[in-house]
Structure 1
Amino acid sequence: MSIEKIKEKLATINPTTFIFYGLIAWFVVAFLIYPNINIYYEIFFKDGKLSFKAAEKLLSSERAMRSLYNSLILAVSLVFTVNIVGITLVLITEYFDIKGTRILRLGYFTTLIYSGVVLVSGYKFVYGENGFMTKLLVNLFPSFDTTWFHGYWAVLFVMSFAGTSNHVLFLGNAIRKIDFQTVEAAKNMGASTFYILWRIVLPVLKPTIFALTILTFLTGLAATSAPLILGGTEFQTITPVILTFSKSVTSRDLAALLALVLGLATLALLTIMIRFEQKGNFMSVSKVKSELVKQKISNKLGNIAVHMLAYFLFLLYAIPVVLIIIFSFTDAHSIATATLNFNSFSMSNYMNVFSNSSALKPYLVSIVYAATASVTVVVLALMASRILQKFRNKWTVILEYALLIPWMLPSTLIAIGLIVTFNTPRMIIGNSILVGTVWMLFFAYVIVHIPFTLRMVKASFFSLDTNLEDAAKNLGAKSFYTFTKVLLPIILPSTLAVLALNFNGILADYDLTVFLYHPLYQPLGIVIKNSTDAQALSDTKALTLVYSVILMIMSAITLYFVYGRKSRT
């Protein structure tokens, strides 16, 4: 292209568009590329010379190597336990004809409205040393060990039930798409219920199960909340050790290297998953699919056993949520002693949260972070999606891949990259230091949520009818006017749904927050985790229960508006 044509092309671009393009380019380079390259330099080229000193320190650190081993053990264990529990839940709710399925769903879907540090703190509140269920077991069995709920088995127990959210959403959706004709044909040939399940239904679900297995493994490998709260000193995994190392300047290189190991493992597993999907060829043999009909279990004993299992799992899921809600209305003494007394019930905890500025502060901090980061990431995704829609060249391809970088890296590596990079003045951010400021966590939230937001918003953009834009252009409308008045209103509902999901995810985040939060502005995730410590005051625990209930309500409302309303249309 000649210089004249380039000048002519540039002259047609609105100055506002130039600003948008420049902003996106700066964000990509400053926060997605530079920190992730710099972390390699800081590890292997300290003082400008190639050095493997950090690797030697890592290999000689018994604590670091033990954390790697523990993370691997946890990840492998979760692959089995989460798949077993998750597949069982989906079969109970979607495949078998079980009485009271609607009630069972309420229990099984609780992990969708509370997760992470809120969920782990809830389980500790119920099963911990001073927990309600522990006290109940002690009353039944006086010699029962009150410190039973900690270490590897406690972490595995909590994460096995907490990690089924993806199964409920994605595997449940996949099983509903199974062609009922193949199931009916096998039944007519005399195949038993469990034979059909094993030989026909589960093989069709293999791609989804494999993808969920990879995600489960990665979740176990990068687990933070459960090992930190329940693991104790005997079961420390990678992320809690990275957190400890990152707080000291002398061991920060070890933290960076451990995060890098975690990142490489993530990339390797994602590559394996992509290769598996490319090689796989899964299709229905029927040209006209029929809707799946729930299957009755003909064997009477088998039917009773499945029903008992279904309601036992319901209790395991529902008890923590119910007890959190109940105890949030009790006084500090009842919470500390895990005892229920009718006279102790009141609204004082809720009134305290909304009337006391210090109690309300963590909630407001989290809302401000969640709102500003969610809006920012949606705006960036809208601008990037618009560029990807209008132009298709090597630069837009590079832009798209760059914006997807956080999807390939664990949040731990992203956090350490930001700490290592922006703990000194950098020209790319105006010679400022971000470490120790409120902006650090804000940028981290935006970075982590960019990939998901981009994929969703981009899908909405590419589903638009191009004739709409052409018609507006023929009528003399400028590009910015066309975007704001014609295109944006069409994609706004799906964009707002993504914004709501991001807001929900940021509100009680802990895994990323714990690395980057400002000490004077503690978000909810930090406050909730601190309340699980043995030395935490009873009043603090009472407020935490209120925070947890409010978060669950907000999550439920968000999920209803994002998913529930769609299912009714």
Structure 2
Amino acid sequence: MYAEKITKKMASIHPAAYLCYGLIAWFVVTFLIYPNLNIYYEIFVKDGRFSFEAAEKLLSSERAMRSLYNSFILAVSLVFTVNLVGVTLVLISEYFDIKGARVLRLGYFTTLIYSGVVLVSGYKFVYGESGFMTKLLVHLFPSFHTTWFHGYWAVLFVMTFACTSNHVLFLSNAIRKIDFQTVEAARNMGASTFYILRRVVLPVLKPTMFALTILTFLTGLAATSAPLILGGAEFQTITPMILTFSNSASSRDLAALLALILGLATLVLLTVMIRFEQKGSFMSVSKVKSELVKQKINNKLGNLAAHVVAYFLFLLYIIPVVLIVLFSFTDAHSISTATLNLSSFSLNNYMHVFSNMTAFKPYLVSMGYAAAASAAVVALALAASRILHKYKNGWTAALEYALLIPWMLPSTLIAIGLIVTFNTPRLLIGNSILVGSVWMLLLGYVIVHLPFTLRMVKASFFSLDSNLEDAAKNLGAKSLYTFMKVLLPIILPSTLAVLALNFNGILADYDLTVFLYHPLYQPLGIVIKNSTDAQALADTKALTLVYSVILMIMSAVTLYFVYGRKGRSS
């Protein structure tokens, strides 16, 4: 009887569905499970025997151990500096009554439209040896050292401002949900502004602050662009060292072991975060919440200090963006000498990028990868979400956990896993070699962006009214027809928003790209990083500034359509 029921159920499934299930299962096993298990084999098995040779080599390598130490020092430092600056930004823009807060917020939000290698290259362009601000400082103080902006402090400075984007997004949202009645009650009892902030406001933000602290620590631990561009020989961290080791076959096991250490640290910290969140109990004591009203700082000296800090931070955020935009319209001589002259302004750089195929190629390559990877990952997430929505059993639970594997691993470990696994023929991919092919980077992008896409698309599926599918089924519609004509149109807006965010994130990616890209097809992230080298030509830097401006415009437009329009409608 049970066998008959199973047979009938299987017969009702469309053959295309079987193909879809098979492809998803193959993808999960081949690219999510196998490479991450194989990396252990590559590290600990030599000539068919278990060996600690890689660990011994790592312990005896002074450079490798120093990079580990530097990474943890950077991560711990960022926890303090990013939280200090991030909380200050949110209080200035959302909690205190600061004049010009709307304008200030625009400056603080600039890290949302340019980040990663674009942001780091921008800061080096402004504060580097031949940068505009460095030239200005030398003019004011003739004995000022032009090589000041490198090493640990430069990396810490740049990453502190780069990593506050999560604070302005998530902490701002959390502070808006604070119950004003609680704040007003404390004020009526005679509490001062800063006492209320310390004892009433900040404790309510603890869950968000804790999550942001863990994310900041992980970001510092896996930092790539800033240490690589600004760290110099004296401050090398884990990821740049992994990149160095992965370029040589003899030291690839060291790269894999370092990546594994990074992955284990990530898993431990995520586990700790989940445990603390489960134990924590944070809630508002008021049953009827009222909207938070911005608080005035009554102390004149305190109010003046808050405004000075607010506008000083605004300048730090906005200066790199303004100078990148201005210099993108100047000639090579102005860029190399960091001088602004009205006669040097023109549209020549932009015309060159869009009229010269050699100059436009990196942009074209990045757009091609971003479009292909975004479409592929959304298609995969749609198919998987459909399965998770339609069937609820042990297999679908296992599928969901498997698809979320990349969320628990740093992109460095994923890249090294792909390299050490697919640098030889594998039966799972038809005895092909993927390392050195254009497909390698595409796979990396799909894998890294899969968890976020799945969670967003799955949420859209589970918000659907189940009666819609039942009604279509009762009218005789097939499952595929129901999905294409009834369900997909409803979830399409949110799916397109996720696709746009993925496309935006892939365009200027460097951290994953640098491990997997094809030398003949260099994406924008690689070209922008190369332009920061001392030997880079001024013409190359000019093109890079144009790339950066275009990327910022695209990011701003994407964020507006994904978030801005929602804000208006609500």
Tell whether the structures are fold-level matches, with TM greater than 0.5: yes
% of aligned pairs identical? 85
Q: How much does 1:2 deviate?
A: 3.8
Q: How much does 1:157 deviate?
A: 0.2
Distance 1:520 1:363 in 2: 14
What letter matches 2:206 in structure 1? K
Distance 1:408 1:230 in 2: 28
Give ranges in structure 2 of 5+ residues lacking alignment: none
Aligned to 1:140: 140
**Structure 1 stretch 98-107 or stretch 217-226: which is displaced more?**
98-107
What letter matches 1:246 in structure 2? S
Where do residues 173-212 of structure 1 align in structure 2 (5 Å cutoff)?
173-212=173-212
Distance 2:77 2:204 in 1: 24
Q: How much does 1:337 deviate?
A: 0.4
Distance 1:352 1:178 in 2: 51
Relative to structure 1, the CA distance from residue 2 to residue 46 in structure 2 (aligned partners, 3 Å threshold; closer, same or farther) is farther
What letter matches 1:496 in structure 2? L
CA deviation profile, 1:127-160 (whole Å, cap 9, x unmatched): 0000000000000000000000000000000000
Q: How much does 1:535 deviate?
A: 0.3
CA deviation profile, 1:198-254 (whole Å, cap 9, x unmatched): 000000000000000000000000000000000000000000000000000000000
What letter matches 1:399 in structure 2? L
Aligned to 2:58: 58
Q: How much does 1:3 deviate?
A: 3.3
Q: How much does 1:196 deviate?
A: 0.2
Aligned to 1:558: 558
Q: How much does 1:6 deviate?
A: 2.4
Distance 1:101 1:488 in 2: 41
Aligned to 2:157: 157
Aligned to 1:44: 44
Match status 1:412 vs 2:417: no
Match status 1:488 vs 2:488: yes
Distance 2:305 2:514 in 1: 43
Distance 2:384 2:168 in 1: 31
Q: How much does 1:4 deviate?
A: 2.9
Secondary structure of 1:535's aligned partner: coil
Q: How much does 1:283 deviate?
A: 1.0
Where do residues 516-527 of structure 1 align in structure 2 (5 Å cutoff)?
516-527=516-527
What letter matches 2:47 in structure 1? D
Aligned to 1:547: 547
Q: How much does 1:46 deviate?
A: 2.3
Give ranges in structure 1 of 5+ residues lacking alignment: none
Aligned to 1:503: 503
Secondary structure of 1:251's aligned partner: helix
Q: How much does 1:281 deviate?
A: 1.1
When the two structures are superposed, what TM-score results if normalisation uses the length of structure 1?
1.00
Match status 1:532 vs 2:532: yes
Aligned to 2:461: 461
Distance 1:208 1:347 in 2: 45
Distance 1:424 1:411 in 2: 21
**Structure 1 stretch 468-477 or stretch 233-242: which is displaced more?**
468-477
CA deviation profile, 1:532-553 (whole Å, cap 9, x unmatched): 0000000000000000000000
Aligned to 2:226: 226
Secondary structure of 1:250's aligned partner: helix
What letter matches 1:86 in structure 2? G
Secondary structure of 1:282's aligned partner: coil
Aligned to 1:213: 213
CA deviation profile, 1:167-187 (whole Å, cap 9, x unmatched): 000000000000000000000
Aligned to 1:91: 91
CA deviation profile, 1:369-415 (whole Å, cap 9, x unmatched): 00000010001001101100010111000000000000000000000
Secondary structure of 2:133's aligned partner: helix
Q: How much does 1:9 deviate?
A: 1.5
Distance 2:471 2:221 in 1: 51
Aligned to 2:100: 100
Distance 1:265 1:109 in 2: 30
Q: How much does 1:24 deviate?
A: 0.6
Q: How much does 1:445 deviate?
A: 0.1
What letter matches 1:382 in structure 2? L
What letter matches 1:307 in structure 2? H
What letter matches 2:524 in structure 1? L
CA deviation profile, 1:51-85 (whole Å, cap 9, x unmatched): 11000000010000000000000000000000000
What letter matches 2:522 in structure 1? Q
Where do residues 31-430 of structure 1 align in structure 2 (5 Å cutoff)?
31-430=31-430
Distance 2:173 2:87 in 1: 12
Distance 2:252 2:520 in 1: 23
Distance 2:39 2:93 in 1: 46
CA deviation profile, 1:459-480 (whole Å, cap 9, x unmatched): 1100111011111111111111
CA deviation profile, 1:453-501 (whole Å, cap 9, x unmatched): 0000011100111011111111111111111111111111111110000
